[in-house]
Amino acid sequence: MIDIEPEVTANVKKRLPAGVHFSATYQPRPAKFPHVSAEETANSVYAKTQDSASLENHASVGYEVNIYSNKEGGKKTEARALLAVVDAGMAEMGFSRIYCQPIPNLADATVYRIVARYAAVVDNEHRIYQK
């Protein structure tokens, strides 16, 4: 399996402003705010480039980013600003954003939440190609 999750999560984390809590796993109830999580949600063999020995040369990967803010008087603005930072970093790495939407945070309706999903194809040298 081609695994680039450590590089992707490190890239997201390093771009976040000071004071933003980060996790590499989904957190339904973040302990600190603002909070960003980034996690690999899909990793499958890209069959078009699999060789006759069934060796994986490329993988189709997907990542989900959750952004939470509970800031009084500006949580939507704060969440969207964090999304812009994450989105620029994912695009720079070679990912395409395939979904982005604010969704109700069922664990706590006072928290504003945005979910964004990204996809790409990655080779066994960890080069990333947009889908």
Residue 121 confidence (pLDDT):
96
Report how far apart the first and last C-alpha atoms of the chain are (Å, whole number): 19
CA distances to 30, 53, 58 from 16, rounded to whole Å, are 16, 42, 29
CB 26 within 8 A of CB 12: no
Q: Is the CB of residue 14 less than 8 Å from the CB of residue 38? A: no
What domains sit in the chain, N to C, each tagged with a CATH number? Answer: 5-125 (3.30.2000.10)
Q: What is the DSSP letter of 60?
A: E
The single-letter code of the amino acid at 77 is T
pLDDT at 11: 96
Show pLDDT as tens, one digit a residue, over the chain (131 residues): 999 999 999 999 999 999 999 999 999 999 999 999 999 999 999 887 877 776 789 999 999 999 999 999 999 999 999 999 999 999 999 999 999 999 999 989 999 999 999 999 999 999 999 87
Which pLDDT belongs to residue 84? 98
Count CB atoms within 10 A of the CB of residue 78: 19
Task: Give the separation between CA 14 and CA 89, rounded to whole angstroms.
Answer: 10
